[in-house]
A and B are shown apart, each in its own frame.
Chain A
Amino acid sequence: EAQVTQNPRYLITVTGKKLTVTCSQNMNHEYMSWYRQDPGLGLRQIYYSMNVEVTDKGDVPEGYKVSRKEKRNFPLILESPSPNQTSLYFCASSSQKGGFYNSPLHFGNGTRLTVT
């Protein structure tokens, strides 16, 4: 089954303790992206990657890092989490070909992060 898998689904941590949220897709997609969703603010893009070893900042990159060493994986790293990074995080992927009907953005089921 074609899917984007994020782990963990829920995470509670403390300020300053480094963490990684993993994202993996099995569709051979070139494009991958991370969003955070906050009440009243919708989905805001953190980082995206057009292909292996190519990453770019989105709208809210501060406090986050990403890497794209392999096509299928796009981990989100919080080196020193802070309470304002408490949010619902989504990873997404898509092919770069054929427009959105043929290559829509596929979202994972989300990771709810709480930083105390």
Chain B
Amino acid sequence: GQQLNQSPQSMFIQEGEDVSMNCTSSSIFNTWLWYKQDPGEGPVLLIALYKAGELTSNGRLTAQFGITRKDSFLNISASIPSDVGIYFCAGLNYGGSQGNLIFGKGTKLSVKP
């Protein structure tokens, strides 16, 4: 089946640093989504991208839908402690419903000790 390769698997941040993570696939997607999961809770939608090349911001978060439609990245600027959590990308094909949503394996963001 289709797979999303999300990287990095984990990363440590220091407050104030910028953070980048990405998702790639061998398949084309028509919608890319980014979710965040806080400890002990379910994932929450951060950003949805609908068009190739689209760049969308939500506060300190910026996400882009790759031109090839096979990748997407998420940037977090000036990170703060509450950014800690697991970030998931998800892709959806044209004409598909939420039933065809495919999730990446997640990027775990932790605070540098």
Contacts and interface: CB of A to CB of B under 8 A. Distances in A.
B45 A100 contact: yes
Interface string A30-43: 01010100001111
B40 A99 contact: no
A16 to B, nearest CB: 29
Contacts of B43: 43, 90, 105, 107
Contacts of A94: 98
A110 interface: yes
A111 B91 CA distance: 24
B66 interface: no
A104 interface: yes
A109 B42 contact: yes
A92 interface: yes
A1 interface: no
Contacts, number: 61
B88 interface: yes
Interface residues of B, number: 22
Contacts of A4: 42
A82 to B, nearest CB: 23
A93 B50 CA distance: 20
B40 A43 contact: no
A90 to B, nearest CB: 5
B42 A92 contact: yes
A48 interface: yes
A59 B42 contact: no
Contact of A107 (B9, B40, B42, B48): B42
Interface stretch (B11-19, B70-78, B101-109): B101-109
Interface string B1-42: 100001001000000000000000000000101000000111
13 contacts: A42-B88, A42-B103, A42-B106, A43-B103, A45-B101, A56-B99, A99-B31, A99-B48, A100-B31, A100-B33, A105-B43, A106-B42, A108-B42
Given A48-B99, A104-B45, A110-B42, 11 more contacts: A42-B88, A43-B43, A48-B98, A96-B98, A99-B31, A100-B31, A101-B48, A105-B43, A107-B41, A107-B44, A108-B42
